[in-house]
Amino acid sequence: MPTLFWTDGLFFLVLVMAGALVLVMRRREHFRRPWRTVSRSTPAMVSLVVIAVYLAVGIVDSVHFFPRADAAGSAAGANEPISLLDHWLGGLRTRTEKTYSEPFAAYAYAKEHLPTADGGQRWDYPRLTYGGAHLVDPESERVRDIAVTGVRGAGQGGLMWLIAAAGIAALIARSRREPIGRVVHRVARGQTPLPWRAMLLTLLLLCVGGGAIAEWSAHYHVFGTDKVGADVLYQTIKSIRTGLLIGTLTTFVTLPLALVLGLAAGYFRGWADDLIQYLYTTLNSIPHVLLIAAAILLTQVYMAKHEEAFASLALRADLRLLFLCLILGLTNWTGLCRLLRAETLKLRELEYVQAARALGVRDHGILLRHILPNVFHIVLISVVLDFSGLVLAEAVLSYINIGVDPTTESWGNMINSARLELAREPPVWWSLAAAFVFMFTLVLAANLFADAVRDALDPRRAD
């Protein structure tokens, strides 16, 4: 039975609003012109491919439903909703070991007392239940099996890329009314307006790497396991949704406050400006960490007093994530509000605004038709630049235990748990490395794309 979390609904609402905004911007030349500049930037479009893959994972992980009871009649699993991604990654989710194991290992990470054939005991590394279980002699077979399995998975990923590339080439040929052979030749030589060659090469790397990892994960724990034996690769993939929600839902809260208050302060001035300046100055004087900690504490107290309404652990974790997004939005709107106020103070004195006021145009009409379109580039630049900062903020907040719920998969929780794992001897490094690689890739792609958007939309850089 499908179910909809609060964060799911808001996430899809943000995506629909973003899609509607794209359609509106495509109809106006002054909006299309800078985005054409962005589309010709190779780093920006390569980054967009990476972001699109992350976004696809986040969307699939935001479709939740209650699974059916198993054949034995036990409905224990049906009490907790799972996502479509959980269903697809069921093997990674359910194949848990006893405790730590290294990436691609066939044996546990710590020695144990193992029974011998003569009834005694020996001190040795036990075999894993799932990792490398198909190998008869891991010492001699494991390296070759990893290589063969990786090549097979990479070949499957390459085949998927060929199908996708052929479909993209056919669409380009149809839209331009050119023979598909000519389109393939131009793409291969990098002679297209959009950097299709770089984008397809990026997609090839993702498909080949994803195919190899998917094939490996059927037989090994690619990124190892954590303290309770859970697969680290599964945790890392599940953390993508948390990072995306923090970046998008926080923006959903920040934009209305910054737009309304920033435009009002700059346009009306007087007591409205004084009141809004007092509001964001007072808010900035309070340490944001204390506000976030207080909000999370209040959320926990509320859920403790209304346990009957939050019987599901997933629902409790979702509510805490939602409140974290809300409090981050309430503490991050002040910077954009200041920028919009300053720009509005300048725009309200320009000739066309003065002429509109002299002709009797009402204030809300001037704000919507003359002020807002001319500050929209600031909004877009701030949104794309702040996204990566919000993703990193979640990691920092979870590291100090005031972020998302401990049961929620997130890069911050992985880093927090890895903090103690690094103190072991020998250290358990793979949880930290996996979270770092995935978070670094998303933040780097977002920053590169944000740089291109800033350069294209900044009026001072316009040609």
Assigned domain for 226 exists: no
Order the strands of the 64-65 sheet from edge to edge.
Answer: 2-3, 64-65, 82-83
In 3D, which of 9, 454, 418 has the Cα closest to residue 232?
418
CA 342 from centre of chain: 32
State residue 214's pLDDT score. 93
Are the beta carbons of 266 and 344 closer than 8 angstroms?
Answer: yes
pLDDT in tens, 113-135: 888 777 778 888 888 889 888 88
Q: Report the 10 Å Cβ neighbour count for 88.
A: 12
What does DSSP assign to residue 403? S
State residue 434's pLDDT score. 92
Beta strands in 169-224 (DSSP E): none
**What CATH code is carried by the domain that includes residue 352?**
1.10.3720.10
Assigned domain for 11 exists: yes
Structure tokens at 321: 């994530």
Assigned domain for 249 exists: yes
Assigned domain for 210 exists: no
Q: Tell which phi-psi region holds residue 74, choosing left (phi > 0), alpha (psi between -120 and 50) or beta.
A: beta
pLDDT in tens, 47-96: 999 999 999 999 999 998 888 765 334 444 456 788 899 989 888 888 88
State residue 392's pLDDT score. 80
Instruction: Report pTM.
Output: 0.88
Containing structural domain, residue 455: 2-63+239-461
Assigned domain for 77 exists: no
Query: How many domains does the chain contain in total?
Result: 1
CA 75 from centre of chain: 32
Are the beta carbons of 7 and 319 closer than 8 angstroms?
Answer: no
Assigned domain for 196 exists: no
Residues in the chain where the model's pLDDT stays below 50:
71-77, 463
Q: Report the 10 Å Cβ neighbour count for 168.
A: 16
State residue 72's pLDDT score. 37
Assigned domain for 432 exists: yes
Assigned domain for 176 exists: no
